């Protein structure tokens, strides 16, 4: 037996321990012909709808650098098929799938990631695979955050028992680029946004919300809670309570409730990251068991890069998911939620680098008198690739004031209807500005129904929102 000097023996034991703990050793053994360390982590998230799904896969190489890779997995259900993929070449035999790198993403340094995806089909049930191999090694590493799979129910829900938007459509989910109801069918929600709760609290009461539900026949109330400008930061508990109360009021009336964390100035959402985590932890815990709450995590980022917004979203979304795993989350986009257009960009930055989470949508905002054909074209282009939600728009200029641009507003609304893009109009208030739906001082009276209390913008919006929804239920 050869004797190994004690110091070297310790060294060898330590090196072996590293390899045993994880296939993901980052350093090769200190011998000339040591095998390369291998290891990997995979996140696999899906958006599913009746018969179809999109899978987004991120592969992280936790081993030594590799040049060329094959990812392998087995679908848990033999009906699941890869139909059309991107960023890898796919082949499937029975339930066994391999995805091979394409030219530009074959080299992965240690800890480097690459994202691939595909559209697939399924029948019966659509569970996610749970085990993956990279170049034959089982991936044991983990990366955060990962979302729980959002598989649809395996049975079609029974016919609705009520007539409100929530009674008919139930829990919504993102399916492909659409917003789908519990029957897996694309729908459009049409509704109104509050003004800042710090200024217009008097406008949100039983009579006004009844009018929104039963006279306007709206589907959605967006609850705008400013963070600055005398908003949340001045009284977190008070504003959280106010939002919670309005969510309950919307729920009682069968409306969807969108909780808008209304950041505006400063434009960097990271400025409010800690507040957002505190706020969304509280409201998502409170409303976890409801099926009508949508979370809008940042209103209008501006003056910051898309990667900053994405980083913010990937920190806030897990806080919500921890309490309310199936709720839709809407992420603001660059340049006041213009998909970057108002700062010279476009949606390609989001398409190429989407938020790493499932069941999310992206916000687009416009003001019809200021934003016209080039904004419409960009929204339409983006909506073919990304789930879009117009969480705020005005019929006037971006200041919130000025005259209603009827032609541009109707062009926008026709586009949103055609693409089934959901929307909330700014504002369901009596603010003394062109975008407000009610004439000044309406909120100090008791009447909110009919057209006598409405501005030109209010009349236009009420007549558009009142047309029948015809939600599909089979």
**φ, ψ for residue 151 (rounded to 5)?**
-75, 145
- Residue numbers annotated as active site: 300, 392
* Comparison of 73 and 367: residue with beta carbon closer to ligand IDC: 367
The reply on whether position 430 binds ligand IDC by CB under 6 A is: no
The reply on whether position 343 binds ligand IDC by CB under 6 A is: no
Q: Kindly state the smallest distance separating residue 408's Cβ from ligand IDC, in Å.
A: 15
Q: Is the peptide bond before 145 cis (omega within 30 degrees of 0)?
A: yes
For residue 134, give Cα distances in angstroms to 92, 139, 281, 414. Answer: 16, 7, 36, 47
DSSP structural state of residue 363: E
Q: Map residues 218-237 to x or -, x wherever contact with ligand IDC holds by CB under 6 A.
A: -----------x--------
* Comparison of 178 and 427: residue with beta carbon closer to ligand IDC: 427
Under a CB-based contact definition with an 8 Å cutoff, are residues 369 and 375 in contact? Answer: no
The reply on whether position 328 binds ligand IDC by CB under 6 A is: no
* Comparison of 44 and 336: residue with beta carbon closer to ligand IDC: 336
Residue nearest to ligand IDC (CB): 400
Angle between helical axes of 406-419 and 456-465 (0-180°, round to 10) = 20
436: three-class secondary structure by DSSP: coil
The reply on whether position 408 binds ligand IDC by CB under 6 A is: no
Residues in the interface with ligand IDC (CB under 6 A) total: 15
The reply on whether position 202 binds ligand IDC by CB under 6 A is: no
Selection from 408, 398, 413 nearest residue 463 by Cα: 413
Under a CB-based contact definition with an 8 Å cutoff, are residues 427 and 435 in contact? Answer: yes
Under a CB-based contact definition with an 8 Å cutoff, are residues 52 and 120 in contact? Answer: yes
Which parts of 75-201 are beta strand (E)? Answer: 81-86, 88-93, 96-101, 107-108, 113-121, 132-134, 137-138, 173-175, 178-180, 190-193
Under a CB-based contact definition with an 8 Å cutoff, are residues 388 and 379 in contact? Answer: yes
CA–CA separation, 61 vs 38, rounded Å?
8
The reply on whether position 367 binds ligand IDC by CB under 6 A is: yes
CA–CA separation, 324 vs 279, rounded Å?
14
The reply on whether position 245 binds ligand IDC by CB under 6 A is: no
Choices 8-16, 41-49, 320-328, 429-437 (CB under 6 A): range interacting with ligand IDC = 429-437
Contact with ligand IDC (CB under 6 A) among 223, 316, 317, 431: 431
Q: Map residues 263-282 to x or -, x wherever contact with ligand IDC holds by CB under 6 A.
A: -x------------------
The reply on whether position 300 binds ligand IDC by CB under 6 A is: yes
Q: Kindly state the smallest distance separating residue 135's Cβ from ligand IDC, in Å.
A: 48
Q: Which tokens belong to 335?
A: 């340049």
The reply on whether position 448 binds ligand IDC by CB under 6 A is: no
Choices 108-116, 375-383, 430-438, 446-454 (CB under 6 A): range interacting with ligand IDC = 430-438
Contact with ligand IDC (CB under 6 A) among 122, 239, 398, 438: 398
The reply on whether position 438 binds ligand IDC by CB under 6 A is: no
- In sequence order, the β-bridge partners of residue 425 are 192, 393
Looking up tokens 């129904």 gives 449
The reply on whether position 297 binds ligand IDC by CB under 6 A is: no
Residues that bind ligand IDC (CB under 6 A): 229, 264, 299-300, 336, 365, 367, 392, 398-400, 426, 431, 433, 435
């Amino acid at each position: 037996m050869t004797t190994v000097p004690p110091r070297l023996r310790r060294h060898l034991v330590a090196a072996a321990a590293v390899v045993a703990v994880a296939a993901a050793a980052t350093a090769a053994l200190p011998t000339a012909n040591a095998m390369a360390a291998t290891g990997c982590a995979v996140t696999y998230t899906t958006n599913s709808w009746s018969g179809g799904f999109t899978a987004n896969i991120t592969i992280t190489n936790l081993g030594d650098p590799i040049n060329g890779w094959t990812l392998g997995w087995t679908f848990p259900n033999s009906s699941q098929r890869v139909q059309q993929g991107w960023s890898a070449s796919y082949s499937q035999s029975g339930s066994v799938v391999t995805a091979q790198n394409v030219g530009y993403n074959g080299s992965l340094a240690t800890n480097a990631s690459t994202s691939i995806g595909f559209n697939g089909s399924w029948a019966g049930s659509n569970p996610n695979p749970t085990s993956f191999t990279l170049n034959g090694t089982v991936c044991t590493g983990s990366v955060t955050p990962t979302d729980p799979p959002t598989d649809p129910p395996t049975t079609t829900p029974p016919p609705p028992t009520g007539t409100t938007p929530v009674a008919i459509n139930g829990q919504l989910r993102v399916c492909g680029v659409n917003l789908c109801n519990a029957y897996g069918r694309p729908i459009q929600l049409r509704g109104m946004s509050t003004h800042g709760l710090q200024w217009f609290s008097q406008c949100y009461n039983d009579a006004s919300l009844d009018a929104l539900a039963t006279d306007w026949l709206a589907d959605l109330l967006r609850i705008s809670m400013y963070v600055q400008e005398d908003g949340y930061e001045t009284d977190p508990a008070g504003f959280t309570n106010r939002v919670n109360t309005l969510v309950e009021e919307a729920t009682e009336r069968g409306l969807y409730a969108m909780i808008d964390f209304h950041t505006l100035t400063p434009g960097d959402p990271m400025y409010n990251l800690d507040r957002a985590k505190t706020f969304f932890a509280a409201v998502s815990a409170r409303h976890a068991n409801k099926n009508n709450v949508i979370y809008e995590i940042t209103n209008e980022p501006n003056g910051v890069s898309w990667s900053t917004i994405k980083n913010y979203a990937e920190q806030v979304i897990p806080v919500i998911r921890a309490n309310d795993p199936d709720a839709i989350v809407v992420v603001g986009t660059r340049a006041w939620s213009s998909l970057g257009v108002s700062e010279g960009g476009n949606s390609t930055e989001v398409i190429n680098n989407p938020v790493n989470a499932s069941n999310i949508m992206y916000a687009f905002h416009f003001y019809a008198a200021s934003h016209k054909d080039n904004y419409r074209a960009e929204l339409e282009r983006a909506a073919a690739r990304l789930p879009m939600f117009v969480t705020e728009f005005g019929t006037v200029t971006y200041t919130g004031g000025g005259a209603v641009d009827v032609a541009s507003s109707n062009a926008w609304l026709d586009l949103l209807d055609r693409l089934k893009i959901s929307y909330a109009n700014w504002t369901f208030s009596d603010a003394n500005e062109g975008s407000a739906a009610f004439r000044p001082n309406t909120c100090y009276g008791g009447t909110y129904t009919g057209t006598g209390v409405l501005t030109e913008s209010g009349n236009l919006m009420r007549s558009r929102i009142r047309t029948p929804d015809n939600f599909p239920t089979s």
